[in-house]
Structure 1
Amino acid sequence: MSRLTRFIGVLKRNPKKSIFFTAVLAYGSNFIKQKYEEKQMMRSLCEEAMAYGEEPKHLGEADRHITVLLNPAAKGGKGKAEFDHYCAPLLHLAGMKVAIVRTEHEGQARDLMEIMDNTTAVVVAGGDGTLAEVLTGLLRRSDSAEASRRFPLGVLPLGHTNTAASAVWGFRNHPKPLHLAEATMAIVRNIRRPLDVMEVTPLPESTQEVAPKPVYAASVIEWSAYRDAAERKDIYWYWAFLKKYMTYVFSIYKDISWDCSAEIEYSDPCSGCSRCRSQDITAQSKSPEKPQRWWMAYLPKAKPVHQKTEEEKIDYSVIVNEECGKTHTASVKNTSDLSIQTRNTLHSLEVPSYALSLKTGPVDISAFHFIKEGWSREWSHVITTSEEKIVGELTLKPTGSLKTKEGKERELNIDSEAFEVRPMSIKVKPSAVMIFAPRTPPFAAG
């Protein structure tokens, strides 16, 4: 008791020590409370997952086989540890057969999806880049229409950037353990909903003999000076937690994409009509029927097993949209920020599933405004936009300089993956794939 009295007396006589001790005590208490809540959450979810695993199966019912494509380099190597702690136990307790494939190089996830088979679902354990590779591999398949339904995707936000996952699960900044566990439980509960995807196809050059293949992304194409500055953050590691702010200060002296000028040809968005869905209508009307023997006419007709989705129930042949297919042109000049987004981003949640958001930033910005805007994006994640158009399909033809002073090709980001800036056509593919996610996305700050 005397020691405690002396300790309290020291704190009273030394305000600095008192403040330091109070701060340490508050931090420690909050850390212990957070860990306790995480443990209680995991205990509750583990019990639920175990209940799924103990459910009796019908005779002949196959086991659920989950293939996890894990990027071990995600989040600087921390992604694997988070997967092992918050995700893997729930999958195993649910009685699933889990095959974990660690990707070892760029493009491996795409190559694996092109030959993926003998699994009931694919889980993407990584960030935007890994998800984009999986989407590209899946939708480049010759049987993509059937495979995109046969292989629903689980999305575990374990990367440095998780744009699509943040829109699905409603978190900002970095995901919490709750978001990782809930994303895993959506797989266990087998809750699915469609996800819109963006198809990006480079326009062929006159010297090319083979047409370029499209790439697919879930969220955003970003071509801007802010993107180039953000790519330089790791260079200023010696600024510690201030590096993400100081990079904008130093970048004003660098050769980044100050001029994102382009000629854009776009069409108005259309939810579906006899014009844009004519190919689908023709394909349905000309769908081949199985040959029948003469004696099959005397057999009772079997009831169709396939249940039509809401999309298939719509008769587009009777819908007329005179504006469908009409194109418009626009010129973007002297802007340092241009982005094209689907509704799978927190900044474009109101965009329809059949449309894209074309956003441009202020023109001819000064160094001061560039630093101010960069700091605002890092601090509050608020992006200043001077103009936004809701479009259907679009063709982007850059008119600014496509090379740096050193002669290197300028780059843009497609879901956090770097690509050369070049002419391209972009369109959205509504409900292109199925993902494990809540039916009603919780778009709330986390």
Structure 2
Amino acid sequence: MELQYNHSRAFKVSVNTQLQEPWSKTLERILPFLQCVDECNFDSQYHPKHRASIEYYVGDHFKPILMSYVGRTFNSWKKILESRTLKKTALFRNQCRSPKKVFHTKQNHRATVTPNNLTRPRKRTLELLDLPCEVFQHIFEYVVGSYELKGDLLRLCRHTPPSRYGQNTSTQLILYKPRAWAELKVLRICRAFRNLAISYYGFPQENSFPFSPRLDAIVIQGEELDCFGEERAHSGISCFANLYLQDWNNDDHWLYYDGVYKFNENRYGVRPWSKVTKISNECLRRLNEITIDIHDGSTYKSHWKHIWHFLGRTFTNTTCLRFNISRVDCCARRESIEEQDLGLKKKKKYYLSHDIAILRELGLAIEESPPNRLFPKLEALKLVRVADYCTDVWSPENRRTRRLLGIKMAHTD
């Protein structure tokens, strides 16, 4: 379900990474927007009552089934890699393909000359290029539409023991089956559309993807918990079956190095032998705005400073960082009626420590980096409340739901 928002739920603050303003001042301007509200969010139109992320992460009845499935997957992939029959099978299939026959029909390109053609001038029809440039661009944008590119962050040190693969602290951004150049059918309409598409999306290359800063958006998601509330993924390249079957004896393995990579398969279709492609820096410099989706929390707690170093060095032309966050109420920390009447406790301000940690780590990364090194063109931070949560259900028995949403409420007097 796509989450919608209005402008009253957004907050924008200007920043300048070159002035070296203390990040604590910037954080003070953001804190009022992050504060948990007093009114209950249970009846809010933004409350995800019917989303699967609440019910799916509570309970243990899926655990034996999924664990046996992951184990069978690991064993089957291991047998395929040990038998070395994958390339032979692929080669045999390619040999069985019959070449396509192309038939060229003879056409008479000579125009028939008649007396009417000599005397009567041809009537010129209105062509697409006769339209004004603004109208032509509007037609182009209507045809191609907007596209949301989604990426998953991967910190390998969270999944691999140091004694097994060494001190690997690399960070990767994984794109599962992004939009391909072949899907832009507008490239095959005519030369005018093709040239305009190149100006919007860049020149088609294998180590790139079509992305227009004017039309498209990229959403980066930190690693979430699995369906048991544990910090382990059961799909994608971070699934332990995929990681354990990688060739770690190869010092040039792509997981040893930071970078943005793409797979032509979706998250559940990635195998240990799937082809991975590193995205070129030229393509990554096209992105001007990055969205960090943290409204459901993530498993990262102490790694965000390293992640910001990676993102800041990768997307050097970023001018705005957008954060999709959630608005949380204080139902879980509501004082009792007796305490309210007696006035024994002073009213406290609550925040989600997960959100504060992400913004604090961003400031630490910027302050300890040389000028023009980390987000050199950053101009603003934008926070958008895309979901509301009632914390009344975050009781101790719903521990997995609490961990899923990153619930550890900090407070200040």
TM bucket (normalised to shorter chain) is under 0.3
TM-score, length of structure 2 as denominator length: 0.19
Q: Which has the higher strand share?
A: 1
TM-score, length of structure 1 as denominator length: 0.18
Larger RCO, structures 1/2 (Cα 8 Å, 6+ apart): 2
